[in-house]
């Protein structure tokens, strides 16, 4: 029974990791942009949420009504005003520029907010749990987080496969120059993709910041978790990204059950093992 | 006034000059051909007209406006669509999704999915397959259909016959009639001289980035073409 409990908790934690990874998966999948600043953008979003909550007095969930549009616009501006210019010159410029953004965000946050840890408070729901038969208690909040992850990816999947905008995203991902010949403005589309990525990043950040303390240096480890989730799942596959997150979550939960010091290491080991067995991930996007 | 005209069009890839002072004009509703050997600058010319290669604004004039510095996505809205060399269908989209994407700008006009399927009935049966699973000829039809979905005033066709069997090429050129019947202006770039001259009313023969010869369908001299083609 104890092991089932561990699996369930790991699975729910994986939902959060899957959410972390959505933004990264989108920017790589559509723009081929490896965003080194992704983890710091999660943390930046958490601070934006903190400011919104403090200034408006809203709870963090209602605050999403302000936070998500803000980060959506921020993402659009970031891509259109800066990152688009890095995409013409090969693989290196986006890596260097996003690495620079990462450094700027970390130090900017340190300067503005200090090294203190912060947290968003949601009240009683944080500690409530549902007891399932067999005395297994499952936290309400992790359950909600997991549900949000599934709905987010389901929603994105609908966007990609059922709408004109989604078709255009897939087309620019395949061949941006030919897409231009059909009237698709790739700069605008890339910016929209980053805007959507940042909105999901902000959603992940708020759920993360309710669950755990954060500080200006919390970004890099989120980046690694998101990377691992994307790569385990297979590049460009959104459901795969969620599965990747779940694999990481379960590996960490199992590791933690063996010994608390093993939690993080177990996740990385699972990643390495999968990379050795299936170098292109569990569900690579098949293209022939 | 011509629908499209170029005046002294020069184009560069970095330091390499691919076109030297090209003057071409097309009347509305006309079909012209551009022929020439490999590397003569035919595709470069089309890319410059479609906006994929920036030139000085006044070098390309379309419908009375200078368009030399417009981007391809702006020009599609003005009615310039291109069937790119090598088809370039989107591999992760189905045939129908590829076609539907041609309608991204929702320009009004005669072409719709139904009309494209009527022109190329083979595509209708294949519409839910991924684009790469089609044969070369079917892919060429899909690429033409996708460009038609933009409802172009000016259709640029780059090497429609490339890598296709003669019977399939004939099939595709037969469909050009239905396209020009809508009043669409067409520029065909071809290496296959006979095919190109048969399908057009006038042609230009490019040679090393310059126009070597221009003539109408009726009044040309085959030896002059050979000379202009090979630079003899």
Could you give the ipTM of this predicted complex? Answer: 0.90
3 state DSSP class of B10? strand
Q: Where are the domains of chain A?
A: 7-121+137-277
Q: What pLDDT, on a 0 to 100 scale, did the predictor assign at position A288? A: 34
A180: closest chain B residue by CA: B73
Residue B63: inside a domain: yes
- Percent of chain B beyond pLDDT 70? 100
Taking an 8 Å Cβ-Cβ cutoff, which residues of chain B contact chain A? 50, 52, 71-73, 76-77, 81-82, 84, 88, 90-93, 97, 100-102, 104-105, 130, 132-133, 146, 150
Q: Which CATH number is correct for A7-121+137-277, 1.10.3470, 1.20.120, 3.30.450, 3.10.350? A: 1.10.3470
Q: What's the gap between Cα B183 and its chain centre?
A: 15
Q: What's the gap between Cα B1 and its chain centre?
A: 21
User: What domain range is B202 assigned to?
Assistant: 4-91+153-230
- The answer to whether residues B226 and B216 touch, using CB atoms and an 8 Å cutoff, is no
Confidence band, pLDDT 50/70/90 cuts, at residue A135: confident
Residue B169: give its domain's CATH number. Answer: 3.40.50.300
* Residues of chain A numbered 137-166 and touching chain B (CB < 8 Å): 164
Rounded-to-integer distance, Cα B185 and Cα B28, Å: 6
The strand pairing partners of B69, in sequence order, are none
What is the pTM (predicted TM-score) of this model? 0.92
The mean pLDDT value for A68-92 works out to 95
Residue B105: inside a domain: no
CB neighbour list of residue B177: distance below 8 Å, 6 or more residues apart: none
Answer whether A30 touches B (CB < 8 Å). Answer: no
Residue B69 has a CB neighbour count (10 Å cut-off) of: 14
Whether the per-residue pLDDT at B127 is higher than 60: the answer is yes
Whether the per-residue pLDDT at B132 is higher than 50: the answer is yes
Tell me the two tokens of residue A36. Answer: 């080194």
Confidence band, pLDDT 50/70/90 cuts, at residue A2: confident
The mean pLDDT value for A191-200 works out to 98
The mean pLDDT value for B188-203 works out to 89
Residue B133: inside a domain: no
Whether the per-residue pLDDT at A287 is higher than 50: the answer is no
Lowest mean pLDDT among A251-265, B73-87, B208-222: B208-222
Domains identified in chain B, total number? 1
Lowest mean pLDDT among A46-55, A147-156, B91-100, B196-205: B196-205
């Amino acid at each position: 029974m104890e092991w089932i409990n561990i699996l369930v908790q790991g699975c729910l934690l994986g939902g959060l990791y899957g959410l972390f990874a959505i933004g990264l998966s989108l920017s790589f999948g559509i723009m081929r942009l490896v965003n080194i600043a992704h983890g710091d953008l999660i943390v930046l979003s958490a601070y934006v949420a903190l400011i919104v909550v403090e200034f408006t007095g809203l709870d963090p969930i209602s605050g999403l009504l302000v936070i998500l549009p803000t980060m959506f616009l921020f993402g659009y501006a970031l891509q259109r005003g800066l990152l688009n210019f890095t995409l013409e010159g090969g693989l290196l410029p986006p890596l260097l520029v996003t690495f620079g953004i990462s450094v700027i965000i970390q130090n900017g946050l340190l300067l503005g907010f200090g090294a203190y840890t912060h947290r968003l408070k949601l009240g009683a729901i944080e500690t409530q749990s549902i007891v399932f038969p067999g005395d297994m208690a499952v936290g309400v909040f992790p359950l909600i987080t997991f549900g949000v992850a599934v709905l987010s990816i389901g929603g994105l999947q609908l966007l990609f496969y059922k709408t004109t905008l989604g078709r255009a995203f897939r087309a620019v991902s395949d061949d941006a120059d030919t897409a231009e010949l059909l009237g698709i403005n790739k700069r605008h589309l890339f910016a929209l993709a980053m805007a959507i990525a940042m909105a999901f990043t902000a959603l992940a950040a708020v759920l993360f910041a309710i669950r755990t303390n954060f500080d200006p240096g919390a970004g890099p480890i989120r980046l690694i978790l998101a990377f691992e989730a994307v790569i385990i799942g297979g590049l460009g596959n959104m459901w795969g990204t969620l599965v990747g997150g779940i694999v990481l979550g379960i590996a960490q939960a199992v590791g933690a059950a063996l010994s608390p010091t093993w939690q993080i290491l177990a996740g990385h080991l699972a990643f390495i093992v999968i990379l050795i067995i299936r170098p292109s991930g569990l569900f690579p996007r098949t293209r022939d | 006034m011509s629908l499209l005209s170029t005046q002294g069009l020069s184009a560069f890839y970095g330091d390499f000059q691919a076109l030297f002072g090209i003057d071409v004009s097309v009347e509305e509703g006309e079909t012209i051909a551009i022929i020439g050997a490999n590397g003569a600058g035919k595709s470069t010319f089309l890319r410059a007209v479609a906006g994929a290669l920036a030139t000085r604004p006044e070098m390309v004039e379309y419908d009375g406006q200078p368009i030399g510095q417009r981007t391809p996505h702006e020009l599609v809205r003005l009615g310039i669509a291109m069937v790119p060399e090598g088809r370039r269908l989107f591999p992760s989209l189905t045939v129908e999704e590829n076609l539907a994407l041609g309608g991204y700008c929702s320009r009004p006009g005669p072409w719709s999915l139904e009309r494209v399927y009527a022109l190329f009935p083979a595509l209708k049966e294949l519409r839910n397959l991924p684009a790469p699973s089609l044969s070369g000829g079917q892919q060429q039809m899909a690429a033409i259909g996708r460009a038609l979905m933009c409802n172009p005033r000016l259709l640029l066709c780059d090497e429609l016959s490339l890598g296709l069997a003669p019977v399939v090429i004939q099939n595709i050129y037969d469909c050009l009639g239905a396209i020009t019947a809508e009043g669409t202006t067409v520029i065909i770039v071809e290496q296959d001289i006979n095919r190109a001259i048969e399908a057009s009313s006038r042609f230009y023969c490019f040679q090393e980035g310059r126009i070597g010869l221009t003539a109408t369908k009726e009044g040309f001299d085959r030896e002059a073409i050979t000379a202009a083609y090979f630079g003899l």
